[in-house]
Chain A
Amino acid sequence: MADKIATRQSYGRALVELGALRQDIVVLDADLSGSTMTKEFAKVYPERFFNAGIAEANMYGMAAGLAVSGKTVFASTFAIFAAGRAFEIIRNSIGYTGANVKICATHAGLTVGEDGASHQAIEDLALMRTIPGMTVLNPADDVSARKLLQAAAEWNGPVYVRLGRAAVPVIYAEETDIQIGKAVTLRDGKDCTIIATGLLVSRAMEAAELLAEEGIDVRVLDMHTLKPMDEGAVIRAARETGSIVTAEEHTVIGGLGAAVAQICCEKAPAKVSFVGIQDTFGESGKPDELLEKYGLTAAAIAEAVRTVK
């Protein structure tokens, strides 16, 4: 059984490591530092940590000001309050200015669990993708989260990083090379490609194993970078395997599936099927119960492959 670590824990660890290497790194939070794990950084570098209080719009505005003054800013809260409440501040003060702010949003998706629909950001990837120049990352595990956060620190410009509350299996070896904008082929195959992101990557791998037992040979891509998306990988998937299933813990409107479909329509027509949340709000429940109820399981991904291939 693989180790399980929540990507917000990876974030706490990555911040402390980055803080030691880079004096220009400043961290902001909005009264959730114990949950987003920025408290780890605050403990070691209290002079470079600022709590904005429960005021997310102001926090992202302050982040923009710090960034245009030369700081590399990591600013965190739950995804619903980052991409949601602060959207227009992020668009105009961070996106439009190209400010060097890393919007590290935790507790994304349905797996927030018991807090319910008001706290389950299932549209954050769509919102962030629409901002010109915004890089959008959604790591699947601990190793890729830490590598992508490191890369985000080196990347000049705004980056949105989607992080989770729930512990997820570690799928990568520590030495794996993971770069912004390059999908990882986790498994090669010829009958269909599952393009997954975030929490659903490990479930996509399980689906591939289920399908292999039936003689269906699928390719699995980890699309950890939603923007700029690895178009080449999508086009090859469409041409070489003929069909694609996308899988994301996000509404099917405007996220990974929509981005993949757009590339296919324009450049490499293929049948695409979308595993995601079907234009509905979530609700309270245990994370696994919710993933089951909303069809975000290995079985649901496998079924989509059988139908589309």
Chain B
Amino acid sequence: MNKQALQDKAALIRQHIIREVYHAGSGHPGGSLSATDIMTVLYFHEMNIDGNDPSNPNRDRFVLSKGHASPVLYACLAEAGFFPKEDLVTFRKLGSCLQGHPSMLKLCGVEMSTGSLGQGFSASVGMALAGRLDGRDSRIYVMLGDGELQEGITWEASMAAAHYGLDNLCAIVDHNGLQIDGKNDDVMRVMPIAEKFRAFGWNVIELDGHDLDAIAAGFRKAGKHKGAPTVLVAETHKGKGVSFMEDQAGWHGKAPDREQAEQAMAELGGIL
């Protein structure tokens, strides 16, 4: 996909996120919007996936370790043809395939059930090991929150990935600087992130997580790097694209009311 098409896709994904969360009356818009540009590049440019052939063993795999950002994952899967877009409005409702946090047994295209922070990262290390055992050249991508890095398990996973030289694994840290109780810096400092991963033996690429070209270039470089896993430390803004949500911790896990949702959609160039 060219840059203009990717930009348009990202705007559509953001509109889906607002619709999902609005219709559910709950959910996590902030961290979905901060991850949107990275996820758009992954699903519509970088990854080898096909909504019509979801169990092809040679597909690339994506794990949303920050599982609360399920709205952005569901929007990407719907746009990529894994399920009908009309289903997006069933998010979080009884009987829906779109669980509050992604469930691989309920929705095709979800590669790992997540929601408990840190666990998806460990699972992605196992998936990368399996890929190597099977001699596949498919890649594993895993998206982490910066607050999520406070979990000890993330550093256990980092150590293991570097120890086994998993160059088929690419992690992305959605570095929006916020978590639930406020700024990372106030709650529990995680900085410096890049230095920590370097010390753990990772290839580290720092980039602007809203610059589509930079993101695509980051994934290209990650794919070429041999002998160690790569992490993209992506500078982002929580709530990106919706003025009143941007950089606000209060929009981590809250649904907009009708008026707010309409304003958000207008800013994103859509209608509710």
Q: Show 10 residue pairs from A and B whose CB-CB distance is below 8 angstroms, ordered by the A residue.
A: A31-B180, A32-B181, A53-B190, A54-B150, A114-B26, A115-B100, A116-B115, A118-B101, A119-B100, A284-B96
Nearest chain B residue, comparing its CB with the CB of A57: B152
CB distance from B91 to the nearest CB of A (A): 8
CA distance A293 to B24 in the complex (A): 19
In the complex, whether A37 has a CB less than 8 A from a CB of chain B is no
- Residue of A31, A33, A51, A286 most packed against chain B (CB within 10 A): A31
Q: Tell whether A299 is near chain B: CB-to-CB under 8 Å.
A: no
User: When the two chains form their complex, are residues A114 and B181 in contact, meaning their CB atoms are under 8 A apart?
Assistant: no
Docked complex: B3-52 residues within 8 A CB-CB of A: 24-27
CB within 8 A of A116: which of B101, B151, B187, B188?
Answer: B101
Chain A residue nearest to B106 (CB atoms) is A283
A85: nearest residue on chain B (CB-CB)? B116
Let me know if A80 and B116 touch, CB within 8 A: yes
In the assembled complex, A55 has its CB within 8 A of some CB on chain B: yes
CA of A58 to CA of B96 in the docked complex: distance in angstroms?
35
A295 → chain B closest CB, angstroms: 14
Q: Which residue of B lies closest to A115 (CB)?
A: B100
Q: Is A215 an interface residue (CB 8 A)?
A: no
How far is it, in angstroms, between the C-alpha of A53 and the C-alpha of B24 when the chains are bound?
Answer: 28
Which of A52, A55, A119, A286 lies in contact with B115, CB distance below 8 A?
A119
- Contact between B101 and A31, CB atoms less than 8 A apart: no
Chain A residues in contact with chain B, CB under 8 A? 29, 31-35, 39, 51-55, 57-58, 80-81, 84-85, 113-119, 283-286, 289-290, 293
Query: B148 contacts A284, CB within 8 Å?
Result: no
Count B interface residues, CB 8 Å. 31
Asked if residues B187 and A31 are in contact (CB atoms below 8 Å), the reply is yes
Residue pair B93, A54 in contact (C-beta under 8 Å): no
CB distance from B94 to the nearest CB of A (A): 3
Q: Which residue of A31, A51, A84, A117 contacts B99 across the interface (Cβ within 8 Å)?
A: A117
Query: Which of B94, B113, B152, B181 interacts with A118 by CB under 8 Å?
Result: B113
Report if B117 contacts A (CB, 8 A).
yes
Please tell me if the beta carbons of A283 and B101 are within 8 angstroms of each other in the complex: no
Q: Is the CB of B99 within 8 A of A283?
A: yes
In chain B, positions 223-258 with a C-beta closer than 8 Å to chain A are none
Q: Whole-angstrom distance between the alpha carbons of A52 and B99 in the complex? A: 28
Q: Which of B96, B147, B152 makes the CB contact (< 8 A) with A31?
A: B147
Contacts known (A33-B181, A52-B188, A85-B116); A116 close to B100, Cβ less than 8 A = yes
Contact A34:B116 (CB < 8 A) given known A53-B188, A54-B151 = no
Q: How far is the CA of A113 from the CA of B27 in the complex (A)?
A: 11
The reply on B176 being an interface residue by CB < 8 A is no
Q: Which of A35, A54, A81, A117 is close to B147, meaning CB atoms less than 8 Å apart?
A: A54
- Chain B residues 185-216 with CB under 8 Å of chain A are 187-188, 190
Cβ of A55 and Cβ of B150 under 8 Å apart? yes
Inter-chain contact A114/B148, CB cutoff 8 Å: no
Please report the C-alpha to C-alpha distance between residue A290 and residue B95 in the assembled complex, in whole angstroms.
Answer: 10
A114 to B101, CA, bound (A): 9
Choose from A33, A118, A284, A290 the contact partner of B116 (Cβ within 8 Å).
A118
Distance in angstroms from B87 CB to nearest chain A CB is: 14
Complex contacts, B95 vs chain A, CB 8 Å = 283, 285
List of B residues within 8 angstroms of A53 by Cβ: 147, 150, 179, 187-188, 190
CB <8 Å contact, B92 and A51: no
Give the Cβ gap from B135 to chain A, nearest Cβ, in Å: 33
Cα–Cα, bound, A53→B191 (Å): 13
A235 to chain B: closest CB distance in Å? 40
B103 interface hit (Cβ, 8 Å): yes
Question: Which partner residue on chain B sits nearest A52 by CB separation?
Answer: B188
